[in-house]
């Protein structure tokens, strides 16, 4: 939505920064953190758009693969 509504970009930036700060406790490498952030964003989108969202085990497997 932020692509079409510039007023939401501040909130998007806030989300990205908060997620990066949270992940920094677990992932030292900023590139790996960026990959994890992108994966989490994609998983949120998938949860909203598909008939069968990923379950906890699937999400954990995806995130473990990145670290």
Q: Per-residue pLDDT tens for 11-25?
A: 989 999 999 999 999
Give the angle 26-28-33 at the CA atoms, nearest 5°: 75
Confidence band for 65, pLDDT divided at 50, 70 and 90? confident
Model pTM score:
0.74
For residue 9, what are its two tokens? Answer: 């970009």
Beta carbons of 31 and 66 less than 8 angstroms apart: no
Q: Is 25 helix (H, G, I), strand (E, B) or coil?
A: coil
């Amino acid at each position: 939505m932020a692509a079409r509504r510039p007023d939401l970009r501040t909130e998007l930036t806030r989300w990205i920064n908060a997620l990066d700060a949270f992940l920094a406790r677990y992932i030292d490498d900023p590139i790996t953190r960026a990959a994890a952030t992108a994966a989490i964003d994609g998983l949120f989108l998938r949860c909203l758009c598909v008939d069968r969202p990923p379950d906890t085990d699937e999400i954990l497997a995806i995130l473990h693969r990145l670290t």
